[in-house]
Structure 1
Amino acid sequence: MLFRQLFDYETYTYTYLVADPESGEAALIDPVIEQVERDLKLLQELGLTLKYCLETHVHADHVTGTSRLREKTNCLGIVPQGAEVACADRSVTDGEVLNVGSIEIQAIATPGHTDSHMAFLANGTHLFTGDALFIRGCGRTDFQSGDAGTLYDSIQKLFRLPPETLVYPGHDYRGQMVSTIAEEKQFNPRLKGDRQAFVHLMDNLNLPDPKKIMEAVPANQACGNV
């Protein structure tokens, strides 16, 4: 499996490239509109054909690059089931498997940060957690129909994966790039207590709204057409 971790410095967003070198098929997870040219250049350099753009959820902090990438490559835009994105080519359900060449990417429903959220597990080893689980943290639950108790249950679902599973988050604000399920179970400070303690913690974070929320949510419901 060919794998690249890409970063947008303005929004601290990770985009992930997963590809099968033999077939040349590729998927991008959570592309960012300002980085479309970077992503297209990388695909061209590596001789890859973009098959899917996968969204973990409808983002509130950046605008997706899916629409522009779809125009350039004829890829399919994929969103979680229940996401209000009428322009998506299709949605995926919990447990559904997408094939990128010989690579299997399994969708894992992980609502809570938003009411429609998917993590994606590539070849059983690389887990792309979106905003459900961060490195030593997790996504907030105070807007877009988020629910702290639901997020706790989703994270516990991820914690049942093999301990060596690599965790690649949708964002990181401290320069961290990768973790494992075992590390997050042991060291994630937000998951130290039980469900009730987690809900209390998340309900009292009092965070400011993301800077781009008024722009990003409607744009992402339109696949990034701005």
Structure 2
Amino acid sequence: MFFRQLFDSETSTYTYLIADEASKTAVLVDSVLEQVERDQKFIAELGLKLGYCLETHLHADHITGAGKLRELTGCINIVPFGANAACADRKIQDGEVLQIGLVEIAAIATLGHTDSHVAYLVNNTHLLTGDSLLIRGCGRTDFQSGNAGALYDCITQKLFTLSDSTLVYPGHDYRGHMVSTIGEEKQFNPRFVGRDRTDFITLMNNLNLPNPQKIMEAVPANQRCGQAA
């Protein structure tokens, strides 16, 4: 398996490039519109063909590059079940496995940050958590039909039951962290350590964070796979 983590400095967004080395078929997870040229060049340099663009959810802080990449490469756009994105070619269900040669990408519903969100477990070793579980944190739950209780349940009952050695690759990081593990997050994540479900809900409901700067632009655009109205 080929795996790379790419970064957009303006929005602190991680994009992930995954490929089956035998078939040269590639997958991009959580692409960024402003980085389409970079990603396309990198994929070409490696001799890969982009087969799929996956989203963990409909983002509020950046516009996806999936629609543009579909125009350029013919790749298939996939969003989580329940996402309000009629533009997508497919919606992936909880438990569904996308098989790319020897690479297995399993969708795990992780609702709570939004009401349509999945994490992707790649070959049972690399977990792309989107905005659900972050490194020493978690996604906010105060817009896009977020639900703090649902997020707590999904992270503690689904993600934290994976092997402690599972690598955690988040959708964002604002402090320079790139990767963690399930074992580390269970031990050190301050949003969860020493907190029960009620404590977590109280904490999340009182964060009082400002809205993402691009929310009014990004959400409608991402419902169109990043394409202009």
Superposed CA offset, 1:81-115 (max 9, x none): 00000010000000000012210000000000000
1:37 is paired with a residue whose SS is helix
Q: Does 1:216 align with 2:225?
A: no
C-alpha separation in 2, matches of 1:63 and 1:118: 18
Q: Does 1:141 align with 2:141?
A: yes
Percent identity between the aligned chains?
Answer: 69
Q: TM-score, normalised by structure 2?
A: 0.98
**C-alpha distance in 1 between matches for 2:218 and 2:38:** 20
Q: Distance in 2 between matches of 1:154 and 1:28?
A: 24
> Equivalent residue of 1:19, what SS?
strand
Q: What does residue range 161-200 of structure 1 map to in structure 2 within 5 Å?
A: 161-192=162-193, 193-200=195-202
SS across alignment from 1:15: strand
* Cα drift, residue 56 of structure 1: 0.2
Kindly state the Cα deviation for residue 173 of structure 1 after the two structures are TM-superposed: 0.1
Superposed, 1:56-205 pairs within 5 Å as 56-156=56-156, 157-192=158-193, 193-205=195-207
Whole-angstrom distance in 1 between the partners of 2:31 and 2:99: 19
Letter in 2 for 1:175: G
Q: How far apart, in 1, do the equivalents of 2:52 and 2:111 lie?
A: 21
Looking at structure 2, the residues matched to 134 and 100 of structure 1 have their Cα atoms a distance apart, in angstroms, of 26
Separation in 2, partners of 1:51, 1:120: 16
Counterpart amino acid of 1:187?
F
Given residue 174 of structure 1, which amino acid in structure 2 is its aligned partner? R
Kindly report structure 1 stretches of 4+ aligned residues shifted beyond 2 Å. Answer: none
What corresponds to 2:26 in structure 1? 26
Displacement of 1:121: 0.5
Taking structure 1 as the reference length, the TM-score comes to 0.99
Separation in 1, partners of 2:97, 2:50? 17
> Quick one: which amino acid aligns to residue 138 of structure 2?
C
Aligned partner of residue 59 in structure 1, secondary structure:
coil
Distance apart, 1:147 and its partner CA: 0.3
The Cα shift of 1:67 comes to: 0.4
Aligned length: 226
Q: Give the Cα separation in 1 of the matches to 2:215 and 2:121.
A: 27
Distance 2:47 2:87 in 1: 28
Unaligned runs of 5+ in 2: none
Q: Give, in whole Å, the separation in 2 of the partners of 1:100 and 1:169.
A: 22
Deviations 1:97-143 (A, max 9, x none): 00122100000000000000000000000000000000000000000
Cα offsets for 1:168-219 (capped at 9, x unmatched): 0000000000000000000000002000000000000000000000000000
What secondary structure is seen at the aligned counterpart in 1 of 2:78? Answer: strand
Letter in 2 for 1:188: N
Segments of 5+ residues of structure 1 without an aligned counterpart are none
Letter in 2 for 1:59: H
Give the distance between the partners of 1:49 and 1:107, measured in 2 at CA.
22
